[in-house]
Amino acid sequence: NAGVMQNPRHLVRRRGQEARLRCSPVKGHSHVYWYRQLPEEGLKFMVYLQKENIIDESGMPKERFSAEFPKEGPSILRIQQVVRGDSAAYFCASSPGSGQPQHFGDGTRLSIL
Amino acid sequence: AQTVTQSQPEMSVQEAETVTLSCTYDTSESDYYLFWYKQPPSRQMILVIRQEAYKQQNATENRFSVNFQKAAKSFSLKISDSQLGDAAMYFCAYRSASTGANSKLTFGKGITLSVRP
């Protein structure tokens, strides 16, 4: 069984561009979590999705950030009009159900020029 | 809201020695899970050990063990017989035992552990 797959591993964008981060959960997992890790910090929760539904987006910035987990395909974290402060590592985790152990991907390192 | 505090930013241990990493947390819940994750330079998040709050017995995984003090809201990680490969950042994390919107992980800021040969 493949683990959580995130791509790209590294993403470079210029200020004002859009960033799209993808996460394919473990096969059979229908719950996805996104976390952000700023330099020298711990991971901070952003959003929790279950197929086609957002369960908790309390950690998501109100503007420019959105997330989806469609019925088919990977979960996408989208950042519009990126700014320097968006530079961070973005981790995705998946679980088979709410409250079940979360399996992490290797993260996407986003750099903003 | 739950908080997790790791007050030591860095620690160092001699190879083959024992080191203890501290973590405290704050919650009003009675049932929850606590975790220690390891993040090596490759930046993967590796689960080291997990503790269920309703279990009084401290969790152990080979050279890793915890000292869980529920009343004090303390959850320290002990690494015995430290190895060079243990050098990494270690994060303490909390998760509610309830399902639904409370199932997110709350992390501490982490501690950088270095191992001296």
Q: Which candidate, A21, A30, A6, A46, places its Cα nearest to that of A95?
A: A30
User: pLDDT band at residue B103, thresholds of 50, 70 and 90?
Assistant: confident
CB distance A1 to A9 below 8 Å? no
User: pLDDT band at residue A101, thresholds of 50, 70 and 90?
Assistant: confident
User: pLDDT band at residue B1, thresholds of 50, 70 and 90?
Assistant: confident
> How much is the pLDDT for A36?
97
How far B61 CA sits from the closest chain A CA (Å)?
A: 17
Substitution target from B104, B105, B106, B111 for chain A, most A beta carbons within 10 A = B104
- Say if the Cβ atoms of A41 and B109 lie within 8 Å: yes
Who contacts A39 (Cβ-Cβ below 8 Å, separation ≥6)?
A: A87, A88
Q: In which residue are the tokens 């739950």 written?
A: B2
- Give the number of beta-carbon pairs within 8 Å between A and B: 57
Q: CA nearest B112 in A: which residue?
A: A40
- Say if the Cβ atoms of A56 and B104 lie within 8 Å: yes
> How much is the pLDDT for B101?
67
pLDDT of residue B99 exceeding 90, the answer is no
- Say if the Cβ atoms of B45 and A95 lie within 8 Å: no
Provide the mean pLDDT of chain B. Answer: 93
Q: What is the pLDDT of residues A54-92, one digit of tens each?
A: 999 999 999 999 999 998 899 999 999 999 999 999 999
Q: What is the pLDDT of residues A35-59, one digit of tens each?
A: 999 987 889 999 999 988 999 999 9
User: pLDDT band at residue B67, thresholds of 50, 70 and 90?
Assistant: very high
